[in-house]
Structure 1
Amino acid sequence: MSLWLMPEYHSTSASLLTTLSATSSIAISTSGDGSYRNTLSPAAPSFFADSQTYFECGDGVRCETLTKISNNLAAFLGDPNFPRTFMSASQGEKIIRLQNLWKVYSTLGFTNNYDRAIAIEGVFTRLLAAFKARGPFGVFEEGHSDKTHQPGGLLRRMLLWYRPPNKEPMTRIQFPKGEGAPSWSWMASTGEIEFLKPKFGGIDWMEVQPPWSRSPVVAGDMALHCEVSKIVGVGPGYQGRSEGKLFYDGPDQGSRDKMECVVLGVEKGSEELGSRIHYLIIVRSVELDGMEVYERVGAGYLPRQYISRSGQGTAIC
């Protein structure tokens, strides 16, 4: 049964749970201006339908008929002690829930687009504490995953966001002077996002140096330090082949002849490296203060045979 419920109050700024429920047949809202406040609020919103009243709480949605509607992600978002509910979940489940939260949040509208990077700051701070992680603008890093000091997957998985092909092109947000988000964060642009889904436990992660890991930390430095490689043997319009896909943030960003990327992870396996899938973000060179740097323009995955063997270290701003 499909239910469309209207919030009793604050109809233009329902909670993230309310917004999520629009895709789960519970409720609908598209404003994000109050979402972060409601996610952290202990209050239980009420909703009215033609047949009965519904109450949202940390243990699901309760119906007037005493029926209980539950959803793991909805419980995560509606948790009055947010983010308690996912702490007992596996690492993979935590990442999936976190990505789903960002996917839902990316669909919300704001009075000012630059509030996209601000409105969820309270939620983000709690999540950083829960993950014991560091990072800004919706990206997390937990540090090394084990005693071998191999790179962990959380940071790289959070960088592998992309614009779904059937959604509107993303556009860069114009921030007030002195503010902004780096291009590698989805908070720097408008539009809905999805995440690539490398197999859990099946990826060797590559080295990426985020700004907060460098010493000394330089105020205002938001560049990722990593290795940029050329994409070869693939045209700008490459899309839809079984062995790989490239997703661009905007419609004109794949039109240049020169295509470059940062490999974040490589599929494990007994096959030759040239045939293994490489997960990557697509970048292009730009000039910043007289220096050549790179900015992110998309994401995707390709076999190694389409990526040059030699790369150069650079900054992704």
Structure 2
Amino acid sequence: RLPSWTWMAYNGAIDFLGLPLGGVDWQEDEIHGPWKGGEPMEEAVGKGMSAVARPFQEEWVDTGEGDFEILLDAGESAGTEGWQDWNCVVVGTKRIPKGMMTPMVERTHYLLLIAATTDGSGFCTRIGVGKMAGILIGPPMSSRVMVH
């Protein structure tokens, strides 16, 4: 079984965020994938990745100001009901030009959206991707989660 966080787990087309080439500061400490141990990717498939999960601070609303986008794997028809039970993993932030001072709460954060699985295993699964201002994202949870 392929992990939910890889595009290979889905049939047909999937949506991607349009990230700026060379314009992302990747948050490498936030995600530890099975590939980090030096295993070939073929052996890592089926394993989870350890990630720092964060809750959302408040219900997010696209005000039309700044970068905001949510792409759910289930499509738009799924809606965002139940967002309070979702968490996110910050995979990167928008790179700012040298010399500019932009607080992290104002920077665009690129996210993997996750939710707890319903099987009681304690694992999480990918439900989509998104980007939003850091002010909408809460502090890290007390322990890392496994995303399958």
Name the TM-score class by shorter chain: 0.7 to 0.9
1:183 matched residue in structure 2? 4
Does residue 1:309 correspond to 2:139, yes or no?
A: yes
Q: TM-score, normalised by structure 2?
A: 0.77
What residue identity is the alignment partner of 1:186? Answer: W
Counting strand residues as a fraction of each chain, which structure ranks higher? 2
1:193 matched residue in structure 2? 14
Q: Deviations over 1:38-73 (max 9, x none)?
A: xxxxxxxxxxxxxxxxxxxxxxxxxxxxxxxxxxxx
Aligned-pair CA distance for 1:227: 0.7
Q: Deviations over 1:192-212 (max 9, x none)?
A: 223222222222111222112
Which of structures 1 and 2 has the larger relative contact order (alpha carbons within 8 angstroms, sep 6+)?
2
Is the 2:112–2:128 contact (alpha carbons within 8 Å) kept by the matching residues of 1? yes
Cα distance change on mapping 1:219 and 1:296 into 2, 3 Å: closer
1:225 matched residue in structure 2? 50
1:255 matched residue in structure 2? 81
1:265 matched residue in structure 2? 92
- Segments of structure 2 that go 5 or more residues without pairing to the other structure are none
Give the aligned length. 135
1:74 matched residue in structure 2? none
SS at structure 1 position matched to 2:105: helix
Counting helix residues as a fraction of each chain, which structure ranks higher? 1
* 1:205 paired residue among 16, 26, 33: 26
Does residue 1:214 correspond to 2:37, yes or no?
A: yes
State how 1:47-86 maps to structure 2 within 5 Å: none
CA RMSD of aligned residues (A): 2.5
Cα distance change on mapping 1:223 and 1:253 into 2, 3 Å: farther
Aligned-pair CA distance for 1:271: 0.9
SS at structure 2 position matched to 1:195: coil
2: CA distance between counterparts of 1:203 and 1:220? 26
Q: Which moved more, 1:239-248 or 1:274-283?
A: 239-248
2: CA distance between counterparts of 1:185 and 1:310? 23
Bigger radius of gyration, 1 or 2?
Answer: 1
* 1:281 paired residue among 104, 112, 121: 112
